[in-house]
Structure 1
Amino acid sequence: MSHERILIVEDDIDSAEVLVAYLKRDGFQTRHALDGNQALDMHARWRPDLMLLDIMLPGLSGNEVLSAIRRHAPTPVIMVTAVGGDSSRISALLYGADDYVVKPYNPSEVVARVHAVLRRWRGQALSQAGRLRHETLVVDLDAALASIDAGDEVCFHLLSLLMAAPSKMFSRAELLAACLPESDAMERVVDAHMYNLRRKLEAVGVTGVLVTVRGLGYRFRNPS
């Protein structure tokens, strides 16, 4: 039985109540937001372990909510929506969704997807007391420090974001918000940061882990 917290963002109260019942049956704690603004407020105050987020919401759309959350938190998000086209699915994933469920759905399938996404995130969870490691590269989240062989300091925010979600593509806007949240710099400044970061990694033999997704952004590839 799980005790993790699931925030359901759904303006259809009947649909939300069904999800609440199924999730509680599996031991999850749940809360329900009716619109995008309420979702952001509850996310900030309650810190859920996962969000089930509808795209079509009053006020802020689900994609806008997801984009706002991704500026400061890696909370796993499953989009739940009646919009089932490929373009909508791809758009949600590009905004940073971890999975996508189309209405009408089987509530048991939604719960299964919640378990699957949480398992995946547990597997990516911090190891060795708050450290992410790849070969000689170490990101210490407690110290907010990235190092190579305990030496050269590199961009902590970029590395921690990329390494914590290996193979996930991050847009330049997301990386800029993570690395320079108060900056008015253009998104292309991320390219310069990534270039310098690659040079530092390659200097100590760490190659091929910072992958450019042409026209979209970057991701971290763990060969293992």
Structure 2
Amino acid sequence: MVSPSKEKILVVDDELNIRQILETRLKIRGYEVIVACNGEEALTLFHKEQPDLVILDIMLPKIDGYTVCSELRKKSSVPIIMLTARGDISDRVMGLEFGADDYVIKPFSPKELEARIRSILRRIEKINDQNSSKTYFLQIGNLTINMQSRQVFKNNKRVRLTEMEFTLLELLVRKAGERLSRAYILDSVWGYTPERYLDTRVVDVHISRLRSKLEEDPGKPDLILTARGTGYMFQKIS
């Protein structure tokens, strides 16, 4: 299936065969693809090309994937999918903590990665269509949420959220007062159902990141609450 629009994807991997496979398959599906073989080249190409999505390997020469991800997050909310060959759960989670939106474990199925890409880009396109003709401000304590511009202000200061973080926040706010399971959140925000427990860690790390940015005391959250035995819920909005 060919993508109707020419979204641009930056593929960053030091393995030539992976770059070639992904470049070929993604171009067939209608994407514009640019490739980088190390972290230094990735940062240069990102700022020059302004891609719509980044596929980023962790183990890179010159500048590792964690650092690249962190640098991108200082100025951009572009979706980032990390590729990791590491078996340790903590290594995978670390990529999320540095700002990645999702991860795929090597060796990976190209079809699975393509499905993740389609899901993220389709969701962003849908969000843009939904928000193009409406303005929706929400005031919750010291937070101001602009649903149209997808911006959040805390004590009148802009809080930078990634696209996935804002989508997660939007879901929680729209379902305020409801207990949402991790599986439901994963399907609603990321567009796939968990095949294993580890998949739901994506939700946990993003919740933690949201709390660190929005809560007065992330260790004792007042806004994004833990629904024990279920998942999470946003405080009921009166």
- Structure 1 equivalent of residue 166 of structure 2: 164
- The separation in 2 between residues aligned to 1:99 and 1:77, in whole angstroms, is 7
TM-score normalised by structure 1 residue count = 0.66
Q: Contact 2:13–2:38 (CA<8 Å) still a contact in 1?
A: yes
TM-score normalised by structure 2 residue count = 0.62
Q: CA shift at 1:132, angstroms?
A: 6.0
Q: 1:52 aligns with which of 49, 52, 55?
A: 55
Matched to 2:56, the amino acid is L
Are residues 1:43 and 2:46 paired?
yes
- Structure 2 equivalent of residue 91 of structure 1: 94
Are residues 1:127 and 2:97 paired?
no
Write the mapping of 1:82-121 to structure 2, written as runs, cut at 5 A.
Answer: 82-121=85-124
- The separation in 1 between residues aligned to 2:60 and 2:147, in whole angstroms, is 38
Are residues 1:154 and 2:156 paired?
yes
In structure 1, stretches of 5+ residues that fail to align are: 148-152, 176-192, 196-207, 214-219
Are residues 1:62 and 2:40 paired?
no
Superposed CA deviations along residues 132-153 of structure 1, whole A, max 9, x for unmatched, are: 64368453887x9969xxxxx8
Instruction: Provide the secondary structure at the position in 2 that maps to 1:161.
Output: coil
Q: Contact 2:58–2:65 (CA<8 Å) still a contact in 1?
A: yes
In structure 2, stretches of 5+ residues that fail to align are: 170-205, 217-221, 227-232
Shift in alpha-carbon separation, 1:135–1:52, aligned structure 2, 3 A: same
- The separation in 1 between residues aligned to 2:60 and 2:138, in whole angstroms, is 40
Q: CA shift at 1:166, angstroms?
A: 2.8
Shift in alpha-carbon separation, 1:129–1:42, aligned structure 2, 3 A: farther
Instruction: Provide the secondary structure at the position in 2 that maps to 1:56.
Output: coil
Instruction: Provide the secondary structure at the position in 2 that maps to 1:166.
Output: helix
Matched to 1:118, the amino acid is L
Q: Contact 1:6–1:50 (CA<8 Å) still a contact in 2?
A: yes
Matched to 2:146, the amino acid is V
Identity of aligned residues (%): 29
- The separation in 1 between residues aligned to 2:234 and 2:10, in whole angstroms, is 30
Matched to 2:53, the amino acid is L
Question: How many residue pairs align between the two structures?
Answer: 182
Q: Contact 2:39–2:65 (CA<8 Å) still a contact in 1?
A: yes
- Structure 2 equivalent of residue 73 of structure 1: 76
Instruction: Provide the secondary structure at the position in 2 that maps to 1:48.
Output: coil
Give the alignment's Cα RMSD to 1 decimal: 3.7
